[in-house]
Amino acid sequence: MPVSDPLTHSPSGKRRARGLGLPLSGCPGPLNAITDVPGVTVGLTTLSDDAAPSIRTGVTAVLPRPHADLLSPVWAGCFTMNGNGEMTGTHWIGEAGWFTGPVTLTNTLSLGVAHHATNRWMVDHFRPRLEEKGLWLLPVAAETYDGWLNDIYGQHVTEAHVLAAIDGAVSGPIPEGSVGGGTGMICYEFKGGTGTASRRVTVAGQEVTVGVLVQANHGLRPWLTVCGQPVGADLPGKTVWTRETGSIIAVIATDAPLLPIQLQRLARRAALGIGRGGTPSGNNSGDIFLAFSTANNPGPLPEPRRLNLEAIGNDRLDALFMAVVESVDEAVLNAMLAAESCTGHKGRHVAALDGERLATLVRR
């Protein structure tokens, strides 16, 4: 039976990092999820059927605003720790400091259909204003490679799957592990996938929330470090790789009022979060991070002639930086702990991380 406390258990009932009693720092939001940030919703389309084990893939959609408000920009910043991957829309974020619409995460060879379908969704919902104002769209779509467990060359993700993830985005607890775009992903040579976490901090006298969602598909087992303990070498099971060949995407949301350059600084701190887990961000890994703020809503495009942005002073950002580091680290753990062992394409098998064994190693 699923357990109702979202801090300690995923919706599937599997214990999260806090449910195992791991000594994690920081104060999470009530859901310990990116959806603790007001207005942020998540939708998932999962393609996984034991009758067709070669198909282990899907789509995750992160909506920074309610469906009806997705033509209103969100201020944003990006950082690429290692560029063997793709996140579309980042050039414009670097120029203007904002993006519109859903953020979609999928596998490498389905990036194009995710981008196309996001445009389709935006046109279907906002065409009169788009045509009246002569607006264009540059969606944010990102990928990690699931070709070990999924028949990635079959390109099984369709426009309908992406639209379903966007339409199905809701608030509340988020399924983790082998779901959505994380369905076929591998992390530290255990089954990986979708994970989330959050932190609440007080900054400049205001309580704000930082929430993170990761698609974790990176790392080698001997590197794995949890709560400062090098545990990877002591975890049993068959290894998968001889060198790192995965990636991680992190999406960071906050309701703190921040400038785009400050959000870029938050995105950089995701690299420290994955570093806590042991990865050096290997040559073959695409480690790309996006941070956005739901504050300072300028209204639907086009931009007003004058923009008035409130922002927290730079000297007050350290608590937000730490919130990102802690949340990314914990979200990766939650992805692995919620994932199920999987047999996929060509009969390849990847085991799930044994949470009890992990907790014993950390406590030793």
pLDDT single digits (tens) 295-353: 999 999 999 999 999 999 999 999 999 999 999 999 999 999 999 999 999 999 999 99
Neighbour order of strands in the sheet with 286-293:
98-99, 74-83, 286-293, 247-254, 206-217, 193-203
Q: Which of 72, 178, 247, 293 is catalytic?
A: 247
Identify the pLDDT of residue 82: 97
3-class SS at 274?
A: helix
pLDDT digits (tens, 9 = 90+) for 208-260: 999 999 999 999 999 999 999 999 999 988 888 888 888 999 999 999 999 99
233: tokens are 């070498």
The dihedrals phi and psi of 10, each to the nearest 5 degrees, come to: -70, 160
| Distance of alpha carbon 101 from alpha carbon 301, whole angstroms | 11
Give 198's pLDDT tier (boundaries 50, 70, 90). Answer: very high
pLDDT digits (tens, 9 = 90+) for 82-114: 999 999 999 999 999 999 999 999 999 999 999
Q: What is the DSSP secondary structure assignment for residue 184, as one 8-state letter?
A: T
- Homologous superfamily assigned to 34-302+309-344: L-amino peptidase D-ALA esterase/amidase (3.60.70.12)
| Distance of alpha carbon 241 from alpha carbon 305, whole angstroms | 53
pLDDT digits (tens, 9 = 90+) for 122-160: 999 999 999 999 999 999 999 999 999 999 999 999 999
Identify the pLDDT of residue 1: 40
Q: Which of 281, 287, 327, 329 is catalytic?
A: 287
- Residues 37-56, mean pLDDT to the nearest whole number: 96
Identify the pLDDT of residue 3: 57
Give 364's pLDDT tier (boundaries 50, 70, 90). Answer: confident
H or E segment at 268?
helix 260-276
Helices 318-338 and 260-276, axial angle in degrees (round to 10): 50
Q: Residue ranges of the domains in the chain?
A: 34-302+309-344
Identify the pLDDT of residue 100: 98
Give the list of residues 6+ apart from residue 116 with CB closer than 8 angstroms, or none. Answer: 159
Identify the pLDDT of residue 180: 98
Identify the pLDDT of residue 242: 83
With 50 as the cut, is the pLDDT of residue 33 above it?
yes
251: tokens are 């999406």
Strands 74-83 and 98-99: antiparallel
Q: Which of 72, 178, 198, 285 is catalytic?
A: 285
Strands 193-203 and 206-217: antiparallel
With 70 as the cut, is the pLDDT of residue 58 above it?
yes
Specify whether 247 is catalytic: yes
Taken as a whole, the chain contains a residue count of: 364
